[in-house]
Amino acid sequence: MPDIKIAARDGGSFTGYLAKPTSGRGPGVLVIQEIFGVNQVMREITDGFAKQGFVALCPDLFWRQQPGIQITDKTEAEWKRAFELFNGFNVEKGVDDLKATLDALRKTDGCSGKVGTVGYCLGGKLAYLMATRSAADCSVSYYGVGIEGLLGEAGKITKPLLMHIAEADKFVPPEAQAKIKAGLTGNKHITIHSYPGADHAFARVGGEHWNATAAQSANQRTAAFYKQHLG
């Protein structure tokens, strides 16, 4: 499907890639991008959720820096640009844009009104923040970067949060993983799964660290989680 326009809360607008199930109806899933923009990988993930019966929407969160970013993880120049965008990203504005997307998705024709979030890498961190700061019905975080510095918000989580942690994640070292687990253990709304030997972005099909076993396990858990909480 073509991209749609989403109104930003502070003025202006940005685009999002929308995919619907063949029935045209279902719960919503807000798909949160990696550091490469709403590229082919993110669009295929969004399409995948639509095939599972969800109205899925992936917003362009880099629009404030450069709209329409669609790069890959295949060249050194693209990695350099991706990290420039990551370092220039305003997390507070990004969360605001995700809240605007959440509102837009709930109002999208065919959406049941129930909406979960799912994010990867940068998006995994933002999915955690949507669990702490938004009215999303549930959230899923894949190998979120920087969550160990945001544990002070954990007490605000009152809706289900599923977290997938890569034990060999080069961007989230063992001490950060231990801090995350220690800081979140005890919150009945949070479920954490770790994947031994899996590196960052283990669920990115075609990526350097693609791990079929870990990805299949994580994706199955995500599907069951959504079935339970978005039904």
- What is the predicted pLDDT for the residue at 177? 98
Q: In whole angstroms, how far apart are CA 170 and each of 33, 81, 199?
A: 19, 19, 7
Asked if residue 119 has pLDDT above 90, the reply is yes
- What is the predicted pLDDT for the residue at 231? 83
Which pTM value belongs to this model?
0.97
Asked if residue 166 has pLDDT above 90, the reply is yes
Asked if residue 139 has pLDDT above 80, the reply is yes
Digit-coded pLDDT (tens) for 189-221: 999 999 999 999 999 999 999 999 999 999 999
Digit-coded pLDDT (tens) for 220-230: 999 999 999 99
- Give me the mean pLDDT over the 161-188 stretch: 96
- Give me the mean pLDDT over the 88-116 stretch: 97
- What is the predicted pLDDT for the residue at 91? 98
Digit-coded pLDDT (tens) for 40-60: 999 999 999 999 999 999 999
Asked if residue 175 has pLDDT above 90, the reply is yes
- What is the predicted pLDDT for the residue at 111? 97
Asked if residue 2 has pLDDT above 90, the reply is no
Q: In what order do the strands lie in the sheet with 55-59?
A: 3-7, 13-19, 55-59, 26-32, 111-120, 138-142, 161-166, 190-195
Asked if residue 31 has pLDDT above 70, the reply is yes
Domains and CATH numbers, the chain: 3-229 (3.40.50.1820)
Digit-coded pLDDT (tens) for 60-94: 999 999 999 999 999 999 999 999 999 999 999 99
- Give me the mean pLDDT over the 115-137 stretch: 98
- What is the predicted pLDDT for the residue at 223? 97
Nearest to 41, CA basis, from 51, 50, 33, 30:
33
Burial class (CB within 10 angstroms; exposed 0-12, middle 13-18, buried 19+) of 152: exposed
Tokens describing residue 126: 């933002």
Residues 6+ apart with CB under 8 A from 152: none
Q: Determine the residue type at 202.
A: F
Distance CA 231, CA 226 (A): 7
**Cα dihedral across residues 101, 107, 111, 112: positive or negative:** positive
Q: Determine the residue type at 146.
A: G
Pseudo-torsion of CA 131, 160, 47, 98, nearest 10°?
A: -10
Query: Do the bridges between strand 13-19 and strand 55-59 make them parallel or antiparallel, or are there none, so unpaired?
Result: antiparallel
Rounded percentage of the chain residues whose pLDDT exceeds 70: 100
- What is the predicted pLDDT for the residue at 214? 98
Residue 191 pairs in a beta bridge with: 162
Nearest to 140, CA basis, from 228, 35, 222:
222
Asked if residue 1 has pLDDT above 80, the reply is no
- 144, 128 contact by CB (below 8 A): yes
Centre a 10 Å sphere on the Cβ of residue 177 and count the other Cβ atoms it contains.
Answer: 18
Residues with a catalytic annotation lie at: 169, 200
